[in-house]
């Protein structure tokens, strides 16, 4: 199950780099079919890729520098397996053809902890993925319900982060900063117009701090982010200033089942929660179940709030250590048209470099996907 993002599963990905000396090549191919139904005018069925995890090829490296220091790096480049366009969602952020970096970082580790710089998982969506039975992928992924608003980029650019050694058994602390959450830094910053509204193309800074606990069957995360919202004019006026972002999640593995839950809040934008579970039902076969509820709040959504809910179930069946069959089904219900974006098979609002799966457009209220995934 993929676990990534900005106050990140950085911890699991970076805090204790466990790579062989030298360079390791890894990756995965993932392809299948997704059908989505709107309950009225028809359905949409298509070949799609990356519904159980990214398609991509990656490179890991590490070197022991002596004196307790290790330098390590990891970069994964994604692609759409079923087409050459590699279009990844929003047109302004699409990459036509070729590989696109999903994540890439360099880390220096020692007794002091770990320093990281590069492109990394963003905190909110990363922790949502960590405590999502579907890992944020496919029609069942939690981000298909959450992922319609800014402030929850799947991956964050221009990141520098620090992860402490254990401050107590099982507990580490992560602090991170990005000067611009999506894309290269813009210099100089755009100026306000005569009405005081700021223009587009502004740097979107973000600070994050998270407590990360993993011991035995217990995993828990509490993360706080301060996001600079400089999105310029909206139909309801300017959306500027700072926004508080809170994410909390936990899981407990009982052996017969692993239960998990999470709460997420983005000031001015949305709040939501999720409960879910995974359970082995036979050798190599795991069942997945989740319920997600997310409410749109704040000036972008007018007065009051609207709520979108998703219930999802699925199964993974491992044919071998590297090859998996999977099938998922999901259904949306809503208040006041808040599920109007429909089901999709991607996560996060921004598509920046989110290659390795078909983002596409949301459609319908009920969806099914089936596919096969091979890792190497």
Nearest to 37 by CA among 28, 45, 26, 48: 45
- pLDDT at residue 329 in the model: 97
Give the residue numbers spanning the domain of 260.
Answer: 10-189+197-375
- pLDDT at residue 4 in the model: 34
Q: What is the DSSP letter of 270?
A: E
User: Each residue of 143-174: pLDDT tens digit?
Assistant: 665 444 333 556 788 899 999 999 999 999 99
The answer as to whether 311 is a domain residue is: yes
- pLDDT at residue 74 in the model: 95
* Total tally of structural domains belonging to the chain: 1
The answer as to whether 1 is a domain residue is: no
- pTM for the whole thing? 0.81
For the beta carbon of residue 235, count every other beta carbon within 10 angstroms.
7
Write the DSSP string, 15-55.
SS----SEEEEEEEEEEEEEEEE-SSS-EEEEEEE-SSS--
Whether residue 188 is preceded by a cis peptide bond, meaning omega within 30 degrees of 0, is yes
The answer as to whether 240 is a domain residue is: yes
- pLDDT at residue 278 in the model: 98
**Residues near 168 by Cβ (< 8 Å), separated by ≥ 6?**
none
The answer as to whether 127 is a domain residue is: yes
Spatial distance between the Cα atoms of 112 and 257, rounded to a whole number of angstroms: 36
The answer as to whether 3 is a domain residue is: no
Helix/strand/coil for 190: coil
Max CA pair span of the chain: 66
Q: Which residue has the tokens 């949306």?
A: 332
Whether residue 59 is preceded by a cis peptide bond, meaning omega within 30 degrees of 0, is no
The least confident of 49-53, 149-153, 332-336, 337-341 is 149-153
Look at 314 and 92; give whichever has higher pLDDT.
Answer: 314
In this model, does residue 109 exceed pLDDT 70? yes
Cα dihedral 133/138/141/145 (nearest 10):
-170
What average pLDDT score do residues 195-215 get? 73
Secondary structure element (H or E) that encloses residue 144, with its range:
helix 143-146
Read off the CATH number of the domain in which 335 is found. Answer: 2.40.160.10
Share of the chain above pLDDT 90, in %: 39
Spatial distance between the Cα atoms of 7 and 174, rounded to a whole number of angstroms: 7
Nearest to 178 by CA among 148, 204, 146: 204
Q: What is the DSSP letter of 348?
A: S
């Amino acid at each position: 199950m993929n676990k990534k993002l900005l106050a990140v599963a950085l911890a699991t990905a970076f805090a204790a780099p466990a790579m062989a000396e030298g360079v390791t090549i890894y990756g995965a191919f993932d392809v299948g079919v997704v059908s989505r139904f709107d309950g009225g005018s028809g359905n949409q069925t298509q070949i799609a890729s990356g519904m159980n995890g990214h398609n991509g090829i990656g490179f890991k490296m590490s070197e022991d520098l002596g004196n307790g220091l290790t330098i390590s790096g990891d970069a994964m480049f994604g692609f759409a397996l079923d087409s050459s366009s590699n279009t990844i969602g929003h047109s302004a952020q699409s990459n036509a053809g070729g590989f696109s970096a999903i994540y890439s970082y360099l880390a220096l580790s020692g007794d002091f902890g770990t320093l990281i710089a590069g492109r990394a998982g963003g905190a909110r969506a990363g922790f949502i993925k960590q405590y999502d039975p579907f890992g944020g992928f496919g029609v069942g992924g939690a981000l298909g319900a959450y992922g319609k608003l800014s402030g929850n980029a799947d991956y964050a650019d221009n990141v520098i982060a620090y992860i402490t050694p254990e401050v107590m058994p099982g507990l580490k602390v992560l602090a991170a900063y990005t000067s611009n959450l999506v894309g290269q830094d813009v210099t100089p910053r755009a100026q306000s117009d005569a009405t005081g509204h700021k223009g587009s193309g502004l740097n979107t800074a973000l600070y994050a701090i998270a407590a990360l606990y993993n011991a035995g069957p217990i995993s828990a995360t509490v993360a706080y982010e301060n996001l600079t919202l400089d999105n310029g004019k909206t139909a309801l006026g300017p959306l500027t200033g700072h926004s508080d972002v809170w994410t909390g999640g936990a899981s407990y593995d009982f052996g017969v089942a692993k239960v998990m839950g999470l709460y997420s809040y983005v000031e001015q934008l949305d709040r939501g929660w999720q409960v879910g579970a995974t359970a082995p039902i036979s050798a190599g076969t795991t069942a997945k179940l989740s319920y997600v509820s997310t409410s749109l709040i704040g000036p972008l959504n007018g007065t009051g709030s609207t709520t979108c809910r998703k219930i999802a179930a699925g199964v993974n069946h491992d044919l071998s250590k590297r090859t998996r069959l999977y099938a998922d089904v999901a259904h949306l219900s809503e208040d006041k048209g808040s599920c109007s974006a429909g089901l999709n098979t991607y996560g996060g609002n921004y598509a920046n470099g989110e290659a390795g799966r078909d983002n596409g457009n949301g459609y319908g209220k009920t969806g099914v996907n089936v596919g096969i995934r091979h890792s190497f």
